[in-house]
Chain A
């Protein structure tokens, strides 16, 4: 069990650029979640997958955001045409069914 990993750890981009983040869950976990956290706030849910199926998307996930989990393994979160309001920590978590969720170290996005 190597834990949940996320790459990159930090990303600085200019407004209007596209960015993609990757999450590798704990290998035996069938569920993968994405959350977003801004300074001083608790994480907010974005979306989650069970195997390769995306089962729920938050209304926070505008049409500029897309997430995939091909083959039910790693997941990617893409943000198109980034805006300054997208600056946040993007957290990935995984779990076995509805059990305990384990979080990765996060990707900090700064949009200038």
Chain B
């Protein structure tokens, strides 16, 4: 079964800390992987997209890596700020899925001032 898992479910850090969010997937035959941010009661904001052939993508203070062989992706957030507090979701598009993203349950991040 193709699944996506995110651990931990919740994370609290002091402002300024660098942090890593984890995402694991059960099948290495992925087409791409997306990281999203979701604020309470809101829709999803796409942060980074990594294609299957790529190892990492960077946007500002965010860096996402992809290791298909180990079935893992990480989202690195540098110099965290209270405004980074949100739920972060990882989603995988597998090759044999036409368009269906399979999501993890998310990591709820709280950055304390």
Binding site for B on A (CB under 8 A): 4, 6, 31, 33, 35, 40-45, 48, 50, 55-56, 58, 91, 93, 95, 98-106, 108
Binding site for A on B (CB under 8 A): 4, 31-32, 34, 36, 41-46, 49, 89, 91, 93, 98-106
**A31 contact set on B, CB distance < 8 A:** 99
Nearest residue, chain B, Cβ from A48? B99
Contact of B44 among A43, A48, A108 (CB under 8 A): A43
Contact of B105 among A40, A101, A104 (CB under 8 A): A40
Can you offer 29 A-B residue contacts whose CB atoms are under 8 A?
A: A4-B43, A33-B101, A41-B105, A42-B89, A42-B91, A42-B103, A42-B104, A42-B105, A42-B106, A43-B89, A43-B101, A43-B103, A45-B102, A48-B98, A50-B99, A56-B99, A56-B100, A91-B43, A98-B98, A98-B99, A99-B49, A100-B32, A101-B34, A102-B46, A103-B43, A103-B45, A103-B46, A105-B42, A106-B43
SS class of chain A's interface: helix, strand, loop or mixed?
A: strand
Q: How far is the CA of A42 from the CA of B46 in the complex (A)?
A: 14
Q: How far is the CA of A4 from the CA of B45 in the complex (A)?
A: 11
**B99 contact set on A, CB distance < 8 A:** 31, 33, 48, 50, 55-56, 95, 98, 101
Q: A42-B103, A98-B93 are in contact. Are A55 and B42 (CB under 8 A)?
A: no
**B46 contact set on A, CB distance < 8 A:** 100-103
Q: How far is the CA of A9 from the CA of B26 in the complex (A)?
A: 35
Cβ A100 vs Cβ B98 within 8 A: no
**B91 contact set on A, CB distance < 8 A:** 42-43, 101
